Amino acid sequence: MKVINTIKDLSSELESFRKANKSIGLVPTMGALHAGHESLVKKCVEECDITVVSVFVNPTQFNNVADLQTYPRTFEADVELLTKNNVSIIFAPTVEELYPEKDTRRFNYSPLDTVMEGQFRPGHFNGVCQVVSKLFDFVKPDFAFFGEKDFQQLAIIRKMASELFPSLTIVGCPIVREADGLALSSRNMRLSDQGRKEALTISKTLFASVEYAVKNNLLDTYKFVVDGIAANNNLELEYFEIVDGLTLQKVKSWEDSNYIVGCITVYCGDVRLIDNITYKKN
């Protein structure tokens, strides 16, 4: 495995693999890797000849400076995990390497990027598209792997790839959870022991709502989740939306779509956690 820090060295290394007709897979990450990331890496290693994992905390997708500053960075542990999983290349550029000048590009994938995270984190998805499009340009992968925990992000990246990188296959991978149900997230590292216990309310409420939805209408299911989070005084709901899984637009009835997902964001103290649950997929 090689750790590469420059675009020039990355391109040079990958060119030899392309000439040998090796398939190249990319797993973009911001580091602080956990078992969720590891599942993406394993899938990539399994399906591709060459696996590239980027480790880069992208400043342009943070609309909150404090969140950028406190985002966990565990590069040595990340290298250890990736080495163990037979990754071919770690691409770990500096901010100056990836953004030698300000990126002024604007990406518009409305209405996918204007709801939910797009509403509460203005500019976030534009920053995501900036960095991911750069990685796609530099690596030129055949496959790129993303987790379904970031459900809205995955939908937007699929849209961007279909327009700008039509030969690239985007592979969505299921949410990985702790044994007790908490969705794995790098931000979980910032939870106190008590906060970790409180955060379980999120997944427990979502799982319970799936059972509730079997005999109840969509609006009552929505209220079930909102009330379930509100019952925990240590949590603050930012949003919960029940949406079409493809368009990300709100639905009002279980009959409105064949693919229905509940997407949620909750603050546990100052730690912002996201999760989602599928109610219907035919």
DSSP H or E stretch at residue 243: strand 235-244
DSSP-assigned letters across all residues of 51-72: EEEEE---GGG-S-HHHHHHS-
The β-bridge relationship of strands 235-244 and 169-173 is unpaired
Q: What is the reported pLDDT for 74?
A: 97
DSSP-assigned letters across all residues of 143-208: EEEEETTSHHHHHHHHHHHHHH-TTPEEEEEPPPB-TTSPBP-GGGGG--HHHHHHHHHHHHHHHH
DSSP secondary structure code for residue 256 in this structure:
G
Other Cβ atoms within 10 Å of 122 Cβ, number: 11
The β-bridge relationship of strands 235-244 and 89-91 is unpaired
CA 127 – CA 59 distance, rounded (Å): 8
CB-based contacts of 233, cutoff 8 Å, min separation 6: none
Our measurement of the distance from residue 94's CA atom to the centroid of its chain's CA atoms, rounded to an integer in Å, reads 21
Are the CB atoms for 158 and 146 separated by under 8 Å? no
Does the pTM surpass 0.85? The reply is: yes
Catalytic (active-site) positions: 37
In angstroms, the first-to-last Cα distance of the chain is 41
Q: What is the reported pLDDT for 185?
A: 96
Query: pLDDT (tens digit, 0 to 9) for every residue of the chain, 282 residues total?
Result: 999 999 999 999 999 999 999 999 999 999 999 999 999 999 999 999 999 999 999 999 998 899 999 999 999 999 999 999 999 999 999 999 999 999 999 999 999 999 999 999 999 999 999 999 999 999 999 999 999 999 999 999 999 999 999 999 999 999 999 999 999 999 999 999 999 999 999 999 999 999 999 999 999 999 999 999 999 999 999 999 999 999 999 999 999 999 999 999 999 999 999 999 999 998
Q: Rounded to 5 degrees, what are φ and ψ at 187?
A: -70, -20
Q: What residues form DSSP beta bridges with 143?
A: 25, 169
Token pair for 146: 């993303």
Using alpha carbons only, what angle is made at residue 154 by residues 260 and 30, rounded to the nearest 5 degrees? 135
Q: What is the reported pLDDT for 249?
A: 98
Q: What is the reported pLDDT for 197?
A: 97
